[in-house]
Each structure stands twice: as C-alpha cells, then as structure tokens.
C-alpha cells in the first residue's frame, strides 16, 4: 500500500495507465488528510530532486570545460556547438518514447534504468582519447537518451504525490535543481580540471552520485504510485473523496491511443503556445549555457585582460563565475516566479502566461545590453547576464504548472514528452550549433584576429535577444486560451 494522500487504489492495469476517473456515489469513502501529504511523499520528492540535480550537472559538464575540450580535439566553433546539438537531439528524440512508456508502464523501473544508463556512459566518456573524438560525440548522444527518461517522467510522479496547492510548491523545488544542477555542472567541471590538470576527471564524479541516486530510488520510491485523476485532484481539495467500489458495470474512462492523445494536445492552444514559448526559452538558455564562458574569455582577450590560451591549461574562472551566477539566479528566479504566480492567481486567472511573457521580454533586453557592453566592461556584462538568467528562470516552474492544469492526467507524460521534443528540436538542439556556424561564417569573411574572434561570437549571440522577444509573444498568445483550456481539462 502506498500513501500518496489517497487511501484507495485502482487495479494495476488502471494504475499503469493513469486514465481512470473516480466516480462519486453514496457509499464507502475515505477522508483525505487536510494536513498535507505524508512525510514519505516528501522523501520521495527529495530523491527525485537529487536525481534531477545530477541530471543537469551532466548536461553542463561539457560547457564548463569547453575551452579545454575544443583545444584537445581541435574543434572549430561549429564542431563545438555540434557537440551539444548531438546531446540535445538524442534527448528530444527519446523523450516521446519515454512519455509513451511512462503513461502506460511502471515509472520507477524506467527511472532506475535511465539513471544507471546515463551514469555509466558518462563514466565511460572520461576515458576518450583525442584520436577517437567520434566516440566522445556518441557518448554525449547516449547520455541524452538516458536523461530523457528522467526529465519526462519524474514531474508526473510529483504531480501525483501532491494536491494542487502543494503541487506548485513541490514542482518549484524540483525545477530549482535545473539551474542549481546546471551551475554545479560548470563548477564541478572547471574545478576538477583545475585541481587535476586533466579535464577527463570532470566526467568521473557524477556517475558516483548517480549510483547513490539509484540506490535511493530502489529503497525509498514505491514500486507503484497511484496516479491522481482530474476528479481526484478536484475533490481532494474539499477534504473528502468518495470512491466507487470496483464492481462490474461501473463505467471507467476509456483508454486512448497515442495518436488520439497527440491529436487532442494539438487542439489544446494553451499547450501549443506555451510550448512554443518554452521553445524560445530553450533556444536562449541552450546558447547561453554553451557559449557564455567562451564569449567572456574572448572579450577579455580582446581587451587585453587575459592572455590567449594556446598551450597551457585554460583559465576556468569564467566557468566558475558563470556557474555561480546560474545557481543563484536559478534559485531566486524559480522561487520568485512560483510565489508571484501563487499570489497573483487570486487576482487574475491568466497570470501564469502573463508572468512568463513579461519575464521573457525583460530577459531579452538584459541579454542584449550584456552583449553590447562586453567589449568595454566585463563586470557590467556579468551583471546583465545575471539579470537575463534570473528572468529566464522565473518561467521554469510556471510553464510546467500550466501544462499540468490544461492537460488531463492520463496524457501528461505524453504532453511533457511532446513539449520536450518541440522545445528542444526548435530550441537548444540547434542554437549552440547555429551560433557556432554563424561565428565560423563571420570569421571566414574577415581577417583572423582575437578581435574578430570576439566580434563573430558577439554578432552571433544577438540572435538570442530577438528569439527571446518572440518567446514573450507566444506566452501572450497563451493567455488568450488558458481559462477555457483549464476548464476543459477539469471537465
């Protein structure tokens, strides 16, 4: 028996599928505690948050030591950007598969297999030599497949563990570990490379942390976690749920095919526009995450602040500072976004997409200013990059909460998977590579110099500011449909 706040469970086949609705009737009922979820649910959420931390540390190990990797394998800017693109492409293509499996099969087994797989591949990639660069590309792609299993399924478990008020808070905590993990990825990679003098050691810490996460998952997370239906969630607020006895003749919600789920989601305009807004976010964060330390290094070289990194191990201070900024702004941004949404929902039902739109517009402005002042003042650049990241982070938990209340529970894993596919396909799967090839093209048309190395990256980066403005527009469009789509999901 699992204590998820609901004291009655459907049969296994309905548990796996998650599409069953409870029917209210006179008869047996169980009271749902008004004191919030049990401590066990918080413990399960803590395990999932810890694994999410490792997940995103693995994402950003490569950008944290990008100068060393670029020099070791002799990559151009385009080749270097392609490295992250391979990772994201494999991640996004695997996401719909895991979304399908997560809606229909045991989620704990899928999560455990994913953690084991990506941790093992990360460890293996640390032994790659310079003559086998293609193996390094392959390993990053395989890590992307492993992490897709986690990012797709873990949020749905948290949504099932907690009622609506607590759900937003716990999702906020879960998504705090995206920027925290990303920042720690930079710090870990740069720190290990500096301490050991060999960047390969950066890939040997997170697999050990992944092993611990796998043990905790096995020991603490139940084999089956009851999925809350829309009616479960609605009635749990009142404190009492009446559950229909399992008798022949009791109608149940029909199981739908994957194609039916996709068609339904395509007609959900709140889901469509918010996914495109998330795509713009992903484009910007992907480019920033990959290129900012290198961009800052080139700005410093152009100003004569640091000497070019030609033979010796490259200075990792920019990665360490950027990692710290990512952690701090990420925590603050997610908390501010969640709290603002919680308070302002009492005033305006459309506040979630409006918060996302405003933060995207402000972020785009801050990033544009950061790019413009980079050649003259590095400190100002760091400050405006920090504000740009802060306003991007405001959206993480809010966007996911939008999905969870405009999509019915039986389609949520599929919806998250499709959102991952679209946002990465059109977002951060291409942005690092696109920025890299634009930089290459600019360098090819001009004389080779440290100044043009900086300008080529600066001009390429301006694209991110314009994409951020488009993202704000998509969230504004979401606000036109969100009330109707939420009511439809509740029905």
Please report, for the domain that includes residue 480, its CATH number.
Answer: 1.20.1250.20
State both tokens at 245.
Answer: 């006895």
Examine the fold and report which residue of 170, 205, 226 is the final residue of a domain before the chain moves on.
226
Examine the fold and report which residue of 226, 247, 267 is the final residue of a domain before the chain moves on.
226
pLDDT confidence tier of residue 357, bands split at 50, 70 and 90: very high
Task: Measure the N-to-C terminal CA separation of the chain; round to a whole number of Å.
Answer: 29
Range of the domain at 338: 258-490
Residues 183 and 280 in one domain: no
Residues 178 and 278 in one domain: no
Average pLDDT, the chain: 79
State both tokens at 141.
Answer: 């792609």
Whether the predicted pLDDT of 206 surpasses 50: yes
Residue 30 exposed, middle or buried by CB count within 10 Å (0-12, 13-18, 19+): exposed
Residues 262 and 222 in one domain: no
**How far, in Å, CA of 102 to CA of 152, rounded?**
8
Whether the predicted pLDDT of 8 surpasses 50: no
DSSP alpha helix (H) spans, 345-430: 351-373, 378-393, 396-406, 412-423
Examine the fold and report which residue of 184, 206, 226 is the final residue of a domain before the chain moves on.
226
Residues 291 and 342 in one domain: yes
**Quick one: pLDDT at residue 113?**
87
Indicate whether 249 belongs to any domain.
no
Indicate whether 390 belongs to any domain.
yes
With 0.75 as the threshold, say if the pTM is over it: no
State both tokens at 273.
Answer: 């526009």
Indicate whether 251 belongs to any domain.
no
**Quick one: pLDDT at residue 36?**
45
Residues 265 and 408 in one domain: yes
DSSP code, position 234 = H
What would the mean pLDDT of 203-224 be, rounded to a whole number?
A: 85
Indicate whether 28 belongs to any domain.
no
Residues sharing a CB contact under 8 Å with residue 173, sequence separation 6 or more, in sequence order:
45, 49
What would the mean pLDDT of 470-477 be, rounded to a whole number?
A: 95
**Quick one: pLDDT at residue 28?**
39
pLDDT confidence tier of residue 354, bands split at 50, 70 and 90: very high
State both tokens at 300.
Answer: 């410093």
Residues 294 and 420 in one domain: yes
Residues 199 and 50 in one domain: yes
Indicate the number of domains in the chain: 2
């Amino acid at each position: 028996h699992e204590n998820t706040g609901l004291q009655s469970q459907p049969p296994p086949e309905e548990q796996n599928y998650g599409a069953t609705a409870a029917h209210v009737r006179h008869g047996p009922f169980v009271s749902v505690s008004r004191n919030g979820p049990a401590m066990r649910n918080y413990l399960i959420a803590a395990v999932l948050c810890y694994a999410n931390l490792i997940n995103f540390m693995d994402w950003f190990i490569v950008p944290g030591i990008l100068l060393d990797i670029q020099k070791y394998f002799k990559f151009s800017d385009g080749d270097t950007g392609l490295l992250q693109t391979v990772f994201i492409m494999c991640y996004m293509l695997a996401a719909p598969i895991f979304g399908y499996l997560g809606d229909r099969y045991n989620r704990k087994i899928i999560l455990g297999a994913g953690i084991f797989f990506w941790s093992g591949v990360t460890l293996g990639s640390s032994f790659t030599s310079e003559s086998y660069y293609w193996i390094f590309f392959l390993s990053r792609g395989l890590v992307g497949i492993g992490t897709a299993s986690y990012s797709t399924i873990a949020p749905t478990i948290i949504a099932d563990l907690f009622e609506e008020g607590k759900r937003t808070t716990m999702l906020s905590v879960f998504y705090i570990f995206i920027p925290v993990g990303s920042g720690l990825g930079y710090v870990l990679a740069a720190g290990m490379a500096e301490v050991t003098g060999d960047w390969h050691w950066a890939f040997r810490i997170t697999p050990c942390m992944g092993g611990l996460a796998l043990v905790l998952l096995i020991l603490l997370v139940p084999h089956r976690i009851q999925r809350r239906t829309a009616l479960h969630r609605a009635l749990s607020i009142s404190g009492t749920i009446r559950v229909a006895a399992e008798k022949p003749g009791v109608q149940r919600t029909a199981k739908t095919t994957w194609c039916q789920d996709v068609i339904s989601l395509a007609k959900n305009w709140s889901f469509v526009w918010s996914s495109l807004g998330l795509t713009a976010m992903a484009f910007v964060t992907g480019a920033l995450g990959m290129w900012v330390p290198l961009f800052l290094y080139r700005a410093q070289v152009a100003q004569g602040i640091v000497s070019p990194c030609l033979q010796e191990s490259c200075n990792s201070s920019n990665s360490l500072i950027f990692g710290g900024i990512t952690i701090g702004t990420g925590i603050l941004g997610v908390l501010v976004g969640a709290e603002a949404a919680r308070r302002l929902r009492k005033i305006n039902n459309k506040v979630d997409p409006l918060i996302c739109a405003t933060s995207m517009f402000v972020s785009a402005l801050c990033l544009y200013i950061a790019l413009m002042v980079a050649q003259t003042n590095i400190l100002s650049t760091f400050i405006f990059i920090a504000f740009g990241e802060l306003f991007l982070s405001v959206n993480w938990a809010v966007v996911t909460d939008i999905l969870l209340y405009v999509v019915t529970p039986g389609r949520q894993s599929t919806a998250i998977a499709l959102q991952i596919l679209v946002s990465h396909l059109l977002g951060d799967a291409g942005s690092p590579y696109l920025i890299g090839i634009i930089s290459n093209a600019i360098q090819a048309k001009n004389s080779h110099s440290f100044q043009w190395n900086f300008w080529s990256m600066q001009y390429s980066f301006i694209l991110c500011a314009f994409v951020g403005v488009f993202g704000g527009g998509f969230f504004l469009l979401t606000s036109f449909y969100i009330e109707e789509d939420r009511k439809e999901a509740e029905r």
